[in-house]
Structure 1
Amino acid sequence: MTTQNQAGRARLHLIVSGRVQGVGFRFSACDEAKDLALAGWVRNIPSGEVEIVAEGSRESLQMLVAWAHLGTSSAHVTEVREDWLDFTGEFTEFRIR
């Protein structure tokens, strides 16, 4: 990341539970994150949940959280666990792992 002012930026770790695998959730999450100018990644985890790590503006991250509560039309989200962390600037793009 550049040496620009990082005020108002954060890192967010989400675990999304419910019917979120096999329903296009990761692909939609990736599109949403890119639309919000966030960087990081999304992946399925063995527990059947989806894990998201994203960095960017707090406002955009809050919008990603709101999206995660809804998910795709074929998903059924039952819980979204949030962990807010300090911005690191380690990511250059958002991708699916």
Structure 2
Amino acid sequence: MFRITVLVSGRVQGVGYRHFTRKKALELGLSGYAENLSDGRVEVVAEGEKADLELLIHHLRQGPRGALVLQLDVQWSEATGLKGFQTF
């Protein structure tokens, strides 16, 4: 099991980006959360199998209609045992 922390830059707030992320994460069986940060970025933390996390990263690059994803900063680490997937 792996953990990714992804910081998403661009026009991603106010277009359902967190819920777009949550839907895909649940579909892939991942745990974690997506949160809007005060600086306009979205932080996504997800845990699961490497192949599923890579699919989520691909999904995050696309974003929902109306989003303009400029950059993803991805950090990999060991899973910590998160349960479920939340949005804040």
TM-score (norm 2): 0.97
SS in structure 1 of the partner of residue 66 of structure 2: coil
Amino acid in structure 2 at the alignment position of 1:58:
K
How many pairs align?
88
2:44 equivalent to 1:40: no
Amino acid in structure 2 at the alignment position of 1:21:
Q
Report what 2:66 is aligned to.
74
2 CA distance for matches of 1:74 and 1:32? Answer: 17
Amino acid in structure 2 at the alignment position of 1:80:
L
2 CA distance for matches of 1:88 and 1:32? Answer: 20
2:86 equivalent to 1:95: yes
Report what 1:14 is aligned to.
6
Please state how far the C-alpha of 1:22 moved relative to its aligned partner. 0.3
Report what 1:6 is aligned to.
none
1 CA distance for matches of 2:72 and 2:22? Answer: 16
User: RMSD between aligned alpha carbons?
Assistant: 0.6
Q: Residues 28-50 of structure 1, C-alpha deviation per residue, up to 9 Å, x if partnerless?
A: 10001000100000000011010
**Structure 2: stretches of 5+ with no match in the other structure:** none
**Structure 1: stretches of 5+ with no match in the other structure:** 1-8
4+ residue runs over 4 A deviation:
none
SS in structure 2 of the partner of residue 48 of structure 1: coil
TM-score (norm 1): 0.88
Report what 2:47 is aligned to.
55
- State, as a whole percentage, how many aligned pairs show the same letter: 36
